[in-house]
Structure formats: C-alpha cells, structure tokens
Amino acid sequence: MSNLLMSTPYTPPSDPIEIIHEDHEVVVVNKPTGLLSVPGRGPDLADCLITRLQTIFPQVLLVHRLDRDTSGVMIFAVTPHAQKHLSRQFELRKTSKTYVARVAGRVTESHGTVDLPLIVDWPNRPKQKVCHETGKPAQTDWRVQKASDSESRLRLCPHTGRSHQLRVHMQALGHPILGDPFYADGDARDAHKRMMLHSQELRIQHPESLKGLRFRSKVPF
C-alpha cells in the first residue's frame, strides 16, 4: 500500500444510505463522503457502498465509481442486462454528469474547458498526473457559479471518466478542490472537514424502457 493511502485513515460514515430511486433494473443512491464505492485491499477497507447495498439488494452490480471522498448521485444495476446497458452508456459517453466543487482562489474567467491527458502517477499511486506522452484523453467543462477572493464555486461537467479527473484538472487549472487530501495543500487541504466535490446530477437512459432519466442530489456544502 502506498504512503498516500496509509496517511489517510479510513473511517467511513455510519449513516444509512439514502436511496434516490429503485426499480427492477436500477438502484440510485446518494453516496456519502468518506465511503469507498467498492472494497479496498485488506479487511480494514472492506466496508463500502456496494457491500452495504447488497444487504438490501442482494443482486446489485457495479456500473461506475465515485472516489471515497466524493459524495452524490451514483447508480447501480440490479440485473446483468442493466449492468451491460449502463456500462455501455458510460463507455460511449451517453450519460451526462454534473458535479459541484468549491475550489481554492478566485477563478477569473466565467467558464472554460480543461483538456489534459491523465495517467497514474505510479510512484505515488493512487494519485494521477497530467502526461502528454502517455496519458489518456480527458476533458472537463467548467463554469463559475460564485467566486470570492478566497474560493470559487464551480459547476463541472466531465466528458470522460478518468480516475481523479476533476481533482487533477482543477489542480492543473491552479485551483485545487478544497479539502482534497491528494491534490490540495496547506489551508486549502487542512481547513476543511471533507473534500468539496459532489455529484449533483446524473442523466442516463433506462436500460429497459430506454426513457431518459435524471437523478439529482442536493449539494451538502
């Protein structure tokens, strides 16, 4: 295990999981911050969102992930058909995802796009880094919702789903996400009880009816 993982002790929240939507094909939940999406390595990292959900929905299947410290909308499949259909939507970028983040400093432009390829920073895994030679394409649209001299509130819309994409892209923009244990430092990291990144909205096509659905979760910060 990397020093980075060991330096951030795992103390998952004990609150019940909020169910946003459930039917015979999908389950949509509001993931709390501080809870892994799937088990990590070792018994101390076994508690996670999918294992908690399996006590309620034994057939639940993984479709996508959110970082441990990210909260918000997350969808799971209940059947293999739904898992395959939803996974394909994510792969083909047919889903639409909207996040809200509080970042360090005033972002002076009103909106923009970060287009920087990403790859794992192997000596410091699970951190990721920008690499124009070996990185995989990654694009994030951003728009300022509110800004002060000390911080800005942004709406983030990723077009790709790379690991830590929003976190690295905001750092590369010069405005790391507040409370981020990996990509922020000083007060930007330490003066906040959680990472200020929330999955506010997810739009998908229902795997059976093919109807477009929108799921939202209130931003907790």
What positions carry a catalytic annotation? 67
Two tokens at 141?
């649209």
Alpha carbons 110 and 194: distance in angstroms, whole number? 26
Question: Measuring CA to CA, which residue among 91, 95, 142 is closest to residue 116?
Answer: 142
Alpha carbons 3 and 11: distance in angstroms, whole number? 17
Alpha carbons 74 and 107: distance in angstroms, whole number? 28
Residue 141 buriedness (CB in 10 A; 0-12 / 13-18 / 19+): middle
DSSP string, 97-128: EEEEEEEES---SSEEEEE--EEE-GGGTT-E
Q: Give 54's strand partners.
A: none
